Amino acid sequence: MSIDSLSYGLGFEADKFILGNLCRRKHIEIDSGKSLRYKSNNLCVACNKLTKAEKLQYSTRRIDLDNGFSLGQPCKLNHDWEGTELCLRFTTSRDCVECYKDKLDRDRQPESEKKIVLSKEHYLGKLCLNSHEYENTGKSFRYCKDRGCVECTKERTSHWFANNQGKRKKYLESKKEYFRLNHVKWARNNKDKIYECQRKHRLTEKGKITARKGRIKRVVNMLLIHSVNLSKEDINQIEKRFEGKCAWCNKNIGERITLDHFLAVSKGGSDCKSNLLPCCQSCNSSKSDSDPKKWFAEREFYSKKRWWKILRVLGKTEKNYSQIPFF
């Protein structure tokens, strides 16, 4: 006889209830050997109607056995003792016997199979199939997330890149504009991080060498171009042209003012009063040796009025803005 026909014979609504497996609290429905359950979620009807006090009484039930053992509520791993839906525990410590055995088995593992956690992301585990040994420890350096060997992962990655250069180039070319815009957006929102990384890099040996090369290159360029010695009064006049604000982004500069060469020195621009603009450090670094008109047009703070003002202050026009001044 099927469960549905049995439920009809006992007078229950077959569309709402069924007679299913016996629940862990042994609620038997009319000598059927089964528990009455909801058809929608398969929960026992009698268990669902129990009060909190009655449920607590069921969950904390304990049956003392001989030889220092007892039956208690199931452990976290649901170790069932002989189909009783209860857990065999030690009477004194109340620990699960099966969990204790598993712990002893883990402790008896050979040293080569034991796990040594190094950080949240890596650990030393069993030697991999390719025998990548980490610093003569007899273990492999592995990821905690997927337990894969770090060296094996690197080899697979380098092998894929070596065999898929064409695919990689096509993908990078198709996403070139996306990567550029994403990089610009990230750099705009993380200026403090960039400055901090640059400061740390300048303190390293490699950073000092790079800075030294840059200074030498700039000195050579200054010797090759036309240069005019400027006094403090001349520099103050240059700053007053834009009322203490950056000539490009129009932000208040304060004490962190820098002088930007309108036409870059590396592109032949002269070091004279009619080629210098007061500028903030951000705009000065961003502009570098770019064409001033093209660079300014790509900025969010671009303004035609400010561009015309820059040309008027420097004594230039739209047609001859790239002409090199000598005074």
In order of their start, the domains of the chain are: 3-58 (no CATH), 61-107 (no CATH), 111-158 (no CATH), 175-224 (no CATH), 227-314 (1.10.30)
Q: What local confidence, expressed as pLDDT, does residue 88 receive?
A: 85
90 phi and psi angles, rounded to 5 deg: -75, 135
For residue 92, give both structure tokens. 């004194």
* Amino acid at position 49, single letter: K
Q: CA-to-CA distance for 33 and 273, rounded, in angstroms? A: 102
Instruction: Sort 318 into a burial class: Cβ within 10 Å, 0-12 / 13-18 / 19+.
Output: exposed
- Tally the C-alpha atoms within 13 A of residue 66's C-alpha that lie toward its C-beta: 0
Per-residue pLDDT of the chain (327 residues; tens, 9 = 90+): 344 444 444 556 777 888 888 876 677 877 777 888 888 888 888 877 775 555 544 544 556 666 778 888 778 777 887 777 778 888 877 788 888 887 776 665 555 455 677 788 888 888 888 889 888 888 889 998 888 899 999 999 888 888 888 888 888 889 988 988 898 889 888 988 888 998 899 899 988 888 888 877 777 776 667 777 778 888 888 888 888 889 898 888 876 778 888 888 878 788 788 888 888 888 888 888 888 888 998 888 888 898 999 888 888 888 888 776 655
Sign of the C-alpha dihedral computed for residues 159, 160, 161 and 164 taken in this order = positive
> 142-158 in b/e burial notation, b at 16+ Cβ within 10 A?
beeeeeebbbbeeeeee
Q: What local confidence, expressed as pLDDT, does residue 60 receive?
A: 47
Q: How far is CA 110 from CA 40, 98, 123, 140, in A?
A: 50, 21, 17, 15
For residue 11, give both structure tokens. 């007078």
DSSP designation for 253? -
